[in-house]
């Protein structure tokens, strides 16, 4: 009888201890959730945590807005493991959920600057990127464009091809989609080595390059493109690897040029280094008038996963000049909502 009572007591104690541990774990996870950031602004150059509290690892990429999902997707280079193209999703551009590595680079030596575009007709996502590796004993000498396709924004993206567009070397890439015609263009650092930027039109399904391919005659990198009042603005960096340098913009009345060199749009840029960043894309934020988002990378060392982002609003003045001003912290209320 005593034995039975003892046993009952033991199992009751075990249950209580068990319950106690469950409560601790639950509490910890609630506490962890409370620790998650809920951003309502951009803070350029600072650590930027995803919804799990980990610094966003998505460099040199672009953002798209998928209308039917009312969701933004941010693609970029995942510099941590598994390396390749990362994808994050967001409803507000401030808070991002990690959707994983949507294209694993595997044996590809250099996988950089992915840019994704949604093909509304075929209902698929097309990713272009800088494909590179060792040739004649030197890295970055393959110099090709790569293209990959996915049915879902969150991948997996499957590589379809990689090649030199119209025989030209291709390294840093930018992308522009004409909102009216839905035609897409890739600006690419071309020539040996990055002697110039070229602009190439993509096919209707965005899966291949056309022969409409021109030389802009500008020795630069990191192209970002926007259009305002019938003028195309091409924002670029100089060529100094991961080290930031002075930005320059060019203008043209036709996307295929001719382009005219204008100057440094980074106003008050005392370090002459694009506010310590390098351009990777210009995202026109839907729903706001003239809301052009400068996406820049602040490469840490040799582009480590904890490299930061410099996101700033771009202004086109009434005189037609491109200006990027520093903001320690800012939000979308800077822009006027479209009716």
In the complex, which residues of this chain contact ligand GAL (CB under 6 A)? 60, 112-113, 172, 221-222, 239, 241-242, 278
Structure tokens at 254: 């036709």
Question: Toward ligand GAL, which CB reaches closer, 153 or 191?
Answer: 191
DSSP letters along 80-106, please? Answer: SSSPEEEEEEESSSSS-EEEEEEEE-T
Closest residue to ligand GAL, based on beta-carbon distance: 241
Question: Toward ligand GAL, which CB reaches closer, 124 or 170?
Answer: 170
Least gap, CB of 77 to ligand GAL (angstroms): 8
Least gap, CB of 79 to ligand GAL (angstroms): 11
Only one residue has tokens 């890739």, namely 186
Question: Toward ligand GAL, which CB reaches closer, 219 or 327?
Answer: 219
List for the chain the helix, strand, coil content (%; round to 5). 15, 45, 45
Maximum Cα–Cα distance across the chain: 98
Exposure class string for 40-76: b at 16+ Cβ within 10 A, else e: eebbbbeebbbbeeebbbbbbbbbbbeeeeeebbbbb
Least gap, CB of 172 to ligand GAL (angstroms): 5
Torsion from C-alpha of 40, 43, 44, 48, nearest 10 degrees: -80
Nearest CA among 326, 327, 238, 250 for reference residue 278:
238
Least gap, CB of 234 to ligand GAL (angstroms): 15
Q: Quick check: 116 and 88 in contact, CB under 8 A?
A: no
Reduced 3-state DSSP string for 150-163: ECCCCCCCEEEEEE
Only one residue has tokens 């509304």, namely 120
Q: Quick check: 178 and 163 in contact, CB under 8 A?
A: no
Least gap, CB of 92 to ligand GAL (angstroms): 28
Question: Toward ligand GAL, which CB reaches closer, 112 or 169?
Answer: 112
Least gap, CB of 237 to ligand GAL (angstroms): 7
Q: How many CA atoms lie within 13 A of 93 on its CB side?
A: 22
Report the distance separating Cα 85 and Cα 101, nearest Å: 5
Question: Toward ligand GAL, which CB reaches closer, 214 or 239?
Answer: 239
Question: Toward ligand GAL, which CB reaches closer, 141 or 228?
Answer: 141
Question: Toward ligand GAL, which CB reaches closer, 70 or 302?
Answer: 302
Least gap, CB of 302 to ligand GAL (angstroms): 8
Least gap, CB of 110 to ligand GAL (angstroms): 7
Report residue 272: phi and psi, to 5°: 50, 40
Question: Toward ligand GAL, which CB reaches closer, 50 or 172?
Answer: 172
């Amino acid at each position: 009888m005593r034995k039975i009572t003892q046993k009952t007591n033991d199992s009751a104690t075990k249950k209580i201890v068990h319950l106690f541990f469950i409560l601790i774990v639950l509490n910890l996870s609630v506490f962890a959730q409370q620790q998650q950031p809920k951003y309502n602004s951009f803070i350029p150059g600072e650590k930027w945590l995803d919804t799990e509290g980990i610094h966003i690892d998505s460099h040199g990429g672009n953002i798209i807005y998928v209308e039917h999902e009312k969701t933004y997707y941010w693609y970029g280079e995942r510099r941590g493991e598994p390396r390749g193209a990362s994808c994050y999703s967001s409803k507000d551009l401030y808070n991002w959920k990690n959707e994983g590595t949507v294209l694993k680079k595997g044996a590809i030596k250099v996988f950089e600057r992915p840019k994704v575009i949604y093909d509304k007709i075929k209902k698929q996502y097309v990713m272009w990127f800088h494909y590179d590796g060792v040739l004649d004993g030197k890295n970055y000498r393959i110099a090709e464009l790569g293209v990959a396709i996915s049915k879902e924004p969150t991948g997996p993206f499957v590589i379809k091809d990689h090649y030199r567009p119209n025989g030209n070397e291709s390294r840093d890439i930018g992308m522009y989609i004409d909102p009216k015609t839905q035609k897409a263009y890739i600006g690419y650092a071309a020539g040996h080595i990055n002697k110039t930027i070229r602009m190439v039109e993509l096919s209707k399904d965005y899966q291949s390059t056309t022969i409409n391919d021109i030389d802009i005659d500008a020795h630069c990198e990191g192209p970002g493109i926007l259009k305002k009042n019938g003028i195309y603005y091409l924002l670029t960096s100089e060529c100094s690897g991961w080290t930031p340098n002075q930005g320059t913009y060019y203008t043209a009345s036709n996307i295929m040029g001719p382009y005219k060199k204008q100057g440094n749009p980074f106003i008050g840029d005392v370090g002459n280094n694009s506010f310590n960043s390098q351009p990777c894309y210009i995202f026109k934020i839907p729903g706001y008038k003239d809301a052009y988002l400068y996406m820049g990378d602040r490469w840490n060392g040799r582009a480590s996963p904890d490299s930061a982002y410099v996101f700033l609003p771009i202004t086109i003045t009434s005189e037609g000049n491109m200006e990027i001003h520093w903001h320690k912290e800012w939000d979308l209320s800077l822009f006027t909502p479209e009716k």
